Amino acid sequence: MGSVMVKLPQVFKILGAQSAEGLSFQAVLLELLALTGTIAYSIAHHFPFSAWGEALFLTLQTVTIGFLIQYFGGCTGRGVTFLAVYSSALALLLSPLPPSALITLLQAFNLPAIIVSRLIQATTNYRNGHTGQLSAVTILLLFAGSLARIFTSVQETGDLLVALTYMVSSICNGVIAAQLIYYWHVPAQGKKQR
């Protein structure tokens, strides 16, 4: 149930600040790739909705964040194009057209996509010397949720690739959570001294 709203604090923080400073669009794209792979793989393998439904809700929220990054970056047209391209790609992947090997490859690509997306965000945080508009609530919920999903994915699917994905995700989310704590009192503007 938490995944239905886990990224809403991030969306609200961006909207409230009218800024997506410190958020990496490239990291969002890689996260969407991983989430999309999870959805397509789970549907193709007839996993119960409880095993992959959170990825659907996370996808909707992550797409919203991606659009907001573009919008508040002054690139509304690019944001609209992003929405159209992603929606089309998702529809294609969920159709009967893609071969099952492609869907399995997408799921296997989750590991590098998660690692690289979190490394991009961690590098952005380090270079900025702050976490910008990252939401503490969202980051901590993602960390806790990925830890919990290690166990539930094993029980619900028995698929070790899915469980391994959540293990790696937990480690990567833990790095971002640690940065959030480290940079907690650092304002988003002008502090490169750390």
In-domain check, residue 145: yes
CA 64 to chain centroid: 11
| Domain end point (choices 54, 78, 98) | 98
* Residue 40 sits in the same domain as residue 110: no
Distance separating alpha carbons of residues 21 and 134, to the nearest angstrom: 8
Distance separating alpha carbons of residues 10 and 187, to the nearest angstrom: 17
The pLDDT value given to residue 170: 93
* Residue 126 sits in the same domain as residue 160: yes
The pair of three-digit structure tokens given for residue 15, joined into one six-digit string: 């909207």
* CATH code of the domain in which 158 resides: 1.20.1280.290
Q: Which residues contact 30 (CB under 8 A, 6 or more apart)?
A: 113, 114, 116, 117, 120
| Domain end point (choices 39, 67, 98) | 98
User: Can you give the pLDDT of all 194 residues of the chain as single tens digits?
Assistant: 566 788 999 999 999 999 999 999 999 999 999 999 999 999 999 999 988 888 999 999 999 999 999 999 999 999 999 999 999 999 999 999 999 999 999 988 888 998 899 999 999 999 999 998 999 999 998 899 889 889 888 888 888 877 888 898 899 999 999 999 999 988 766 444 44
In-domain check, residue 41: yes
- The end-to-end CA distance of the chain, in Å, is 37
* Residue 80 sits in the same domain as residue 116: no
**Which helix (H) or strand (E) is 11 found in, with range?**
helix 8-17
The pLDDT value given to residue 193: 44
The pLDDT value given to residue 186: 81
* Residue 113 sits in the same domain as residue 180: yes
The pLDDT value given to residue 188: 64
In-domain check, residue 1: yes
**Which helix (H) or strand (E) is 67 found in, with range?**
helix 49-72
The pLDDT value given to residue 161: 79
The pLDDT value given to residue 191: 43
* Residue 71 sits in the same domain as residue 125: no
**Which helix (H) or strand (E) is 178 found in, with range?**
helix 160-182
Burial of 117 (0-12, 13-18, 19+ CB in 10 A): buried
How many folded domains does the chain comprise?
Answer: 2
Structural domain containing residue 180: 101-185
Residues in the chain, how many?
194
Prediction pTM value: 0.83
The pLDDT value given to residue 43: 94
